[in-house]
Amino acid sequence: MKEETLLSINGVSVAFKINGEFYTAIDDVSLELHRDEVLAIVGESGSGKSTLATTVIGLHNMNATKITGEINFQNKEILELSEDEFNDIRGDEMGMIFQDPLAALNPLIRIGDQIKESLDVHSDMTEDQKQARVHELLNQVGIPHPERVAKQFPHQLSGGMRQRIIIAIAIANKPQLIIADEPTTALDVTIQAQILDLLKDIQRENHAGIILITHDLGVVAEVADTVAVMYAGEIVEQAPVATLFNDAKHPYTRSLLRAMPTIDSEDDELYVVEGAVPSIKDMDRNSDLFAPRIPWTKPDVGHPVLKEIAPNHYVRGESWREFKFKDEL
Q: Which residues bind another protein (CB under 8 A)?
A: 57, 59, 83-84, 86-92, 95-96, 98, 100, 103-109, 114, 117-118, 121-122, 153, 155, 166, 169-170, 172
Minimum distance of another protein from residue 182's CB (angstroms): 12
CA distances 151 to 167, 294, 306, Å, are 17, 54, 51
If the CB atoms of residues 83 and 328 are measured against another protein, the closer one turns out to be 83
Query: What is the nearest approach in angstroms of another protein to the Cβ of residue 126?
Result: 19
Burial of 304 (0-12, 13-18, 19+ CB in 10 A): buried
Q: How far is CA 110 from CA 105, 155, 170, 178, 308, in A?
A: 10, 10, 16, 24, 50
CB of 167 to another protein, least distance (A): 12
Q: For 267, which DSSP code?
A: -
Cβ nearer to another protein, comparing 60 with 313? 60
Q: How far apart are CA 194 and CA 252, in angstroms?
A: 30
Closer Cβ to another protein, 172 or 241, answer by number: 172
In this structure, the number of other CB atoms found within 10 A of the CB of residue 155 comes to: 9
What is each CA distance from 84 to 90, 93, 292, in whole angstroms?
A: 10, 14, 44
Give the nearest distance from C-beta 158 to another protein in angstroms.
15
Q: Between 107 and 261, name the residue whose CB sits nearer to another protein.
A: 107
- Tell me how far, at minimum, the Cβ of 173 lies from another protein, in Å: 9
User: Which CB, 100 or 318, lies closer to another protein?
Assistant: 100
3-state secondary structure of 97: strand
